[in-house]
Amino acid sequence: MTRSLSRVPYQWEVEVLIETTLAEARRRLPPSTGTVTSDTGGGVLLRARAENLDGMAQLLAGFGWPFTVRKPAELRTAVRGLADRLAGYAQR
């Protein structure tokens, strides 16, 4: 059932290359988040759907793994916005 939740139609289709092992990604990413598969680019490919890209940016940042957004481009904007907010908090 949790795997079927990752296929619910949300506004955004997300693809992110995450620099970690498949075993570690499967251990830390709940199946309801999306699907992870090996990628020849040196990590795992997360395919997910999201209604809110700000929330997806927070989720990705929270894992602490380097990642590359493949799609959508709007997720890059959300990640930059999160980085700016965090930098502002660090200046307080």
Q: Where are the beta strands (DSSP E) in the chain?
A: 12-18, 35-39, 43-50, 67-71
Q: How far apart are CA 40 and CA 24, in angstroms?
A: 16
> Does 11 have pLDDT greater than 80?
yes
| pLDDT score for 7 | 58
Which pLDDT score, from 0 to 100, does residue 84 have?
97
Query: For residue 65, which of 17, 13, 23 has the smallest C-alpha distance?
Result: 17
Which pLDDT tens digit goes with each residue over 31-82?
888 999 997 777 999 999 999 999 999 999 999 999 999 999 999 999 999 9
pTM: 0.83
Domain ranges of the chain: 2-91
82: Cα within 13 Å, side-chain hemisphere: 17
* Cα angle: 18, vertex 74, 6; to 5 degrees: 55
